[in-house]
């Protein structure tokens, strides 16, 4: 067994649990679920055939081995943090810089509220915010253009973490003269045979999700047009080229002549999430994650991922 078998994530999990001695509090600090934390600690113990924590009905305590190892782990992680800071400095960046991406039309009110609060509480932070269209629903995370992003899952991101901040219902976007446009509600099945305006192919699983492919029973969708922005999508819908699926907030932000929005009764919720690459997260990024999670909880939301979406990792 060598040091290559241990991940930095496991070491950080060990330190936080050592400080909290409570799985719930440690998981909240790490922005992960309790089962994920428990699994990571068990894997670390099994890898090296040691007991780091003694568990009982009252909680957890460090074992003799764990208590002896803790100072070494803290020292090692401190060295990694210094090395990362030096790398950022060599690259012309600092821990106070934040490369933030956001998917067009996603959590607009939330985004600007978080940026204002972060700038107010951390005046030394420098934020570079970039908007991305439907051709890249990862908002720059996939190719490293951003370090943290506000997105709408599902997206194909590996070795990233994310937390859910908001949820809302799907609605159908129809030409105003469409035979179903005057309905108060629709079922998804009512719309599957309609031509659909979809995202570019580069959007991957996100494109399939918003085309409701999982509900089509293997039957291909009829593509009425391809759009990379809401404005383009709304224009195509108003021209009668097809319908589209969107969200309640988008219906408010992009209400245009020639289109009608109708709620979809049987559609699952759509989620807004904050996602990030742990190895590219600066202290400014960590502050944003903490702020976003506290904001979600204060509004009665949950910072945990929904179970029915295809998250690559957390």
Per-domain residue ranges of the chain = 3-90, 97-167+270-298, 170-263
Q: What CATH homologous superfamily does 170-263 map to? A: Periplasmic binding protein-like II (3.40.190.10)
Domains 3-90 and 170-263 share a fold: no
| CA angle 240–243–246, rounded 5-degree value | 135
Rounded CA gap, 173 and 251, in Å? 8
Nearest Cα to Cα of residue 130 among 106, 105, 101: 101
Which residues does residue 245 pair with via DSSP β-bridges, in sequence order? 172
CATH of domain 97-167+270-298: 3.40.190.10
What is the reported pLDDT for 89?
60
Question: Are 160 and 188 within 8 A, CB to CB?
Answer: no
**Is 0.75 surpassed by the pTM of this model?**
no
Rounded CA gap, 102 and 201, in Å? 19
| CB contact set of 2 (below 8 Å; sequence gap of 6+) | none
**Radius of gyration in angstroms for the set of CA atoms belonging to the chain, rounded to a whole number:** 23
What is the reported pLDDT for 299?
66
What is the reported pLDDT for 297?
73
H-assigned helices in the chain:
8-20, 23-30, 34-48, 64-90, 108-121, 205-210, 230-238, 248-253, 283-298
Q: What does the pLDDT look like over 54-98, one tens digit per residue?
A: 987 777 999 999 999 999 999 988 887 777 666 666 555 555 678
Nearest Cα to Cα of residue 133 among 160, 111, 102: 102
Q: What does the pLDDT look like over 152-205, one tens digit per residue?
A: 999 888 778 888 888 888 999 999 999 999 999 999 999 999 999 999 999 999
Instruction: For domain 3-90, give the fold.
Output: Arc Repressor Mutant, subunit A (1.10.10)
């Amino acid at each position: 067994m060598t040091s290559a078998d241990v991940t930095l994530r496991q070491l950080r999990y060990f330190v936080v649990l050592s400080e909290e001695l409570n799985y719930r509090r440690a998981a909240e600090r790490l922005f992960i679920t309790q089962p994920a934390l428990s699994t990571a600690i068990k894997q670390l113990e099994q890898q090296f055939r040691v007991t780091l924590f003694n568990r009982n009905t009252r909680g957890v305590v460090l074992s003799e081995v764990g208590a002896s190892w803790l100072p070494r782990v803290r020292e090692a992680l401190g060295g990694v943090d210094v090395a990362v800071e030096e790398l950022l400095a060599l690259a012309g960046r600092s821990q106070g810089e934040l490369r933030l991406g956001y998917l067009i039309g996603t959590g607009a009110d939330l985004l600007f509220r978080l940026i204002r609060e972060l700038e107010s509480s951390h005046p030394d932070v420098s934020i570079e915010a970039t908007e991305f269209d439907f051709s890249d629903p990862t908002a720059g995370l996939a190719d490293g253009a951003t370090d943290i992003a506000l997105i709408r899952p599902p997206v194909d991101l590996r070795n990233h973490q994310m937390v859910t901040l908001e949820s809302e219902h799907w609605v159908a976007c129809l030409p105003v003269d469409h035979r179903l446009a005057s309905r108060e509600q629709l079922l998804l099945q009512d719309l599957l045979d309609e031509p659909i305006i979809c995202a570019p192919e580069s959007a991957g699983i996100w494109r399939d999700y918003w085309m409701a492919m999982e509900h089509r029973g293997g039957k291909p969708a009829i593509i009425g047009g391809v759009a990379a922005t809401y404005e383009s999508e709304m224009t195509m819908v108003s021209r009668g080229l097809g319908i589209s699926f969107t969200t309640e907030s988008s219906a408010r932000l992009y209400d245009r002549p020639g289109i009608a929005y109708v709620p979809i009764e049987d559609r699952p919720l759509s989620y807004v999430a904050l996602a990030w690459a742990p190895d590219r997260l600066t202290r400014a990024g960590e502050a944003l994650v903490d702020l976003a999670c506290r904001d979600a909880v204060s509004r009665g939301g949950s910072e945990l991922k929904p179970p029915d979406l295809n998250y690559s990792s957390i």
